[in-house]
Structure 1
């Protein structure tokens, strides 16, 4: 019997995926695992490459009718999905805590910002969709935005609900169909929940497909002939492969990738505020965020005092099961990610860094860690750690800070803390970064803003806010004359 109090009861999702209806996968199911305890949460249906291609074709057939619906009908689906998410808020939070290892506060924020996104996207169908261009007398010349068709979305594990929804919702609002491949480690909270919300909200059958799967499913999405665009959020290494495959198949690609983001603390900063910002940026969600503060650049006159206070702060932060405690940090997503963070911490010490706090782990719970005295030739300065490791680097002049912050292939987020806002802005203007925050830390997203990086952090595209029209539609030029001219040739 269906539990009507739940958004996503086990009778709906166990060993099922979504293609407009809930059906068995085409591969043997995988077990959904709670990273904090290792306990199984239920069987997850998986899609193979053939099902991905078939779903893309089905979505292509369903998309024209979805776009042809009155704009208010599409807007209503988005509004209804937002209302449903609000009604099932605690269930969304519980899934994020159990499946992704989020602390309850982080999960509540993620669910809230996802709801805000749905409300914002419900206004997209009613916005202006083009321009009237200058032309010759007797001819009307229009530039208008049209949906691309089928959008393939490949989403990550770290903010699974929001980072999938930030592509799915605007793409649907603008009249596209979507095939979503969530990360199989967080496919319930980052995929099947989304399917259920839109199913109950009334999205027509075939317009949305949610297909958990492995690398072969993602590869099929980049090559399927009915997919017009890939929106990928994930590591830079995987993003390079996705971008290459999309280009080979002449698909538009939006790549939101990794980062080695710098927080610059100038010598006039309030130390308590600076430490609070640094700890938040480095340790939020165990550092598993593309915008995480990967380097804390501290001007030398305040470096020793800053380091002492950050170490004291790190030692007050406990890691534990977020479903059963109010620990500040939860588990890392899996042993592979834990071992990657541990390897870099060990390599950093061998290269001359000092381990000021933490550095160890128990199971998937990694201690809040502080590395001091890190220099630009240190692995911890270069590599994205994706773990709760604060990398503290001294610098002398503002020019040194600029050089160090730009000394990376990445270019996602940067932040500067100073009482002198003019000085901070002048410094910030010289940083190669897609996101810049003055008197804040590096982890920020408010739905209404364009979000994107440069260099190895992305392909120069942005998603969110006003950038959504650029990403999920294409221009069509249309002219209209009262009657066709008689050309002289």
Structure 2
């Protein structure tokens, strides 16, 4: 297996019909690779696992004071701050019943206010820097694009207090929480800030939450936090066409859950549409996805020879 991180020169021009090109990264780069002249003209097999505007849905039953409400807040903060939000599975859109929006914003603001940013080696630091200054600037531009349709509730993209680190020289960024009062605006469903940023969007009915989730045009991961098994079963069926993986989280399974952004090895990691249309892991299924299959028709003698005598009559 070969792995390249960086420029590839003219390597793609030398791909043939027998090659497989796999990519993990941004949806924009995946689109560029998929449409490369050699890839399209020679039908080079292509597998992409791309970033996506993943969502987490708070169920109508998960009101403040329930274990599910607390789980929702905990998970959102974790996904915003782990790896400084630089994960393709991180929660970008928090879909919340309209009556619970203020409570969610208040709870998230309280939790994010306790996140210390700085040198990860320093005691008490909970979030480090972004991958580089260029990445930080890209996130700032994305936040600026979102602020036309959202209100900033927590954080400042241009100011952050750091522990044992220089905030000007380092690629540090405050966690940023946005509120989009109009969930039908296009920006929250199209602009992805690849950093510690999430937008809270209201919904009225469960079917509205499903519709808003689909506005992401394909996601790697989605989560639904509810204790209502009947509601979850209905929503999962409607969410499934737009997600590679769906986590249903409640007090019942919280202790065993790996969380929204951490799939188990036997689960498919990929997703439709913007997420790339590919799949990774998934046990044997994930391996077969990278292999070519051919059907063979022959007499029993030939089939026995091909399979080492394992052909059934």
Structure 2-normalised TM-score? 0.80
- 1:348 touches 1:378 (CA, 8 Å); kept in 2? no
1:420-431 → structure 2 map (5 Å cutoff): 420-431=228-239
Q: Distance in 2 between matches of 1:345 and 1:235?
A: 17
Q: In proportion to residue count, which structure has more helix?
A: 1
Change (3 A) 1:482 1:317: closer
Q: State the partner residue of 2:58.
A: 265
Alignment pair present for 1:181 and 2:16 = no
Question: Structure 2 residue aligned with 1:302, among 80, 88, 100?
Answer: 100
Q: State the number of aligned residues.
A: 273
* Structure 2 counterpart of 1:433: 243
Look up the match of 2:164.
none
Distance 2:225 2:30 in 1: 31
Structure showing greater Rg: 1
**Cross-structure match for 1:337:** 135
Task: Structure 2 unaligned segments of length 5 or more: list them.
Answer: 63-67, 160-166, 250-256, 303-313
C-alpha displacement of 1:461: 4.2
Structure 1 residue 253 and structure 2 residue 63: aligned? no
Structure 1, unmatched stretches of 5+, are: 1-177, 183-212, 484-489
Q: CA deviation at 1:426?
A: 0.8
Within a 5 Å distance, the mapping from 1:142-153 to structure 2 comes to none
Q: CA deviation at 1:336?
A: 2.1
Q: Which residue of 2 aligns with 1:83?
A: none
- CA–CA separation in structure 2 for the residues paired with 1:328 and 1:404: 31
CA apart distance, 1:215: 4.4
Which whole-Å CA distance do the structure 1 matches of 2:276 and 2:269 have between them?
A: 10
In 1: Cα distance, 2:282 partner to 2:13 partner: 22
Given candidates 250, 256, 264, the residue that maps to 1:446 is 264
Distance 1:476 1:378 in 2: 44
Pick from 262, 275, 279 the counterpart of residue 457 of structure 1: 275
Structure with more relative contact order (C-alpha pairs < 8 Å, separation 6 or more): 2
For residues 368-387 of structure 1, what are the structure 2 equivalents within 5 Å?
A: 368-375=175-182, 376-377=184-185, 379-387=187-195
| 1:386-431 alpha-carbon deviations (Å, 9 max, x no partner) | 1101211111111111111111223321110011022022112112
- Is 2:56–2:224's contact at 8 Å kept on the other side of the alignment? yes
SS in 2 for 1:330: coil
Structure 1: which 4+ aligned runs deviate by more than 6 Å? none
Q: TM-score, normalised by structure 1?
A: 0.52
Aligned to 1:400: 208
Residue of structure 1 equivalent to 2:23: 232
Aligned-residue CA RMSD (Å): 2.2
Structure 1 residue corresponding to 2:151, chosen from 338, 344, 354 = 354
